[in-house]
Amino acid sequence: MKSIFPFLLLLATLGVSCSDDDVSGQVAAQVSLRFNHNWDGEEFQTSDFNTVGYANLNGEKMSVERLRYLISDVTFESSDGSSFTVEGYNLVDLTNEKGLSYQLSDSVPVGNYTNVYFTFGFDNDNNQNGIYPDLNTALWNVPEMLGGGYHYMQLEGKFIDSTQTETGYQYHAIRAVDNSGEELVFEDTFFQVDLGPVEIQQNSTIAISMNIAEWFKNPNQWNLNQLHSMMMPNFEAQKAISQNGKTVFGLEGVFQE
């Protein structure tokens, strides 16, 4: 796991103390992330699974039957460029309503941050094969023939194809790998999600939204009739999924407790 700036050094850098602009008197705060989901602004919950009633940008009617994704290393960046990273990861499993709330393992220095971001998936240092027992149990691994490590996302469901047949899709995100030659060739497809400026003055919950429909629209308008399965070994598909993921997440708000 990558290193972080020492906590006390950051406090000094931020000029954080138990006085001045810290109304609550806290030096550091407990911060949680809350993950909410929508389809183009319409709230999406587990009870909405298995309903072929959503349309993607390509006009295909579709459902969601499984949605799991992993985020890691939440970072708070200040205007002077210093940053504070809380290492760790969280598997959001909307299917089983697990991981929707994620309390960071370290307290966060109170203050105003110009950017808060997290990694979608694992960076390469953390994406090591088989080292996380809980993810192994969750069957989150990527086969070694595809380079090992872990999934970034599993989004699955059904859509109505061009023959009006209900067909399954598996929109899985992993590190892009070209396994057509003698040696595997990789390209990074994890990315950082920047939530923008956030103020932390006391224990807080950062509410984050995922627009599921965005996975199929921007910048790559997805055609499920052309590509709905076998995406993990598809080098170009993985790059396209990563590109589309850049506009999926947004900041709903910060709720001080």
On the question of pLDDT at 11 being above 90, the answer is no
Question: What is the average pLDDT across 141-165?
Answer: 97
Please enumerate in sequence order all residues whose Cβ is within 8 A of that of 122, keeping only pairs 6 or more positions apart, or say none.
70, 72, 89, 149, 150, 152, 190
> Which single residue is written with the structure tokens 């490590």?
149
**What distance in Å separates the CA atoms of residue 128 and residue 164, rounded to the nearest whole number?**
42
Assign 8 a pLDDT band (cuts: 50, 70, 90): very low
Per residue in 167-210, pLDDT (tens digit) is 999 999 999 999 999 999 999 999 999 999 999 999 999 999 99
Per residue in 15-35, pLDDT (tens digit) is 333 333 444 567 999 999 999
As given in the structure block, the two tokens for residue 93 are 């499993």
On the question of pLDDT at 216 being above 90, the answer is yes
So what's the pLDDT on residue 2? 40
Neighbours of 126 (CB within 10 A): 21
**What distance in Å separates the CA atoms of residue 105 and residue 86, rounded to the nearest whole number?**
7
Classify residue 80 by burial, with Cβ atoms within 10 Å: 0-12, 13-18, 19+. Answer: exposed
So what's the pLDDT on residue 60? 98
Do residues 239 and 189 make contact, with C-beta atoms less than 8 angstroms apart?
yes
On the question of pLDDT at 135 being above 50, the answer is yes
> Residue 213 in 3-state DSSP?
helix
User: Helices then strands (H, E): number in the chain?
Assistant: 3, 19
So what's the pLDDT on residue 24? 52
Question: What is the average pLDDT across 140-147?
Answer: 96
List the Cα angle 251/254/24 in 5-degree steps: 155
pTM: predicted TM-score of the whole model, two decimal places? 0.89
Greater model confidence, 56 or 24: 56
Assign 42 a pLDDT band (cuts: 50, 70, 90): very high
On the question of pLDDT at 156 being above 60, the answer is yes
Task: Quote the percentage of the chain above a pLDDT of 90.
Answer: 89
> H/E/C letters for each residue in 11-76?
HHHHCCCCCCCCCCCCCEECEEEEEEEEECCEECCHHHCCCCCEECCCCCEECCCEEEEEEEEEEE
So what's the pLDDT on residue 194? 97
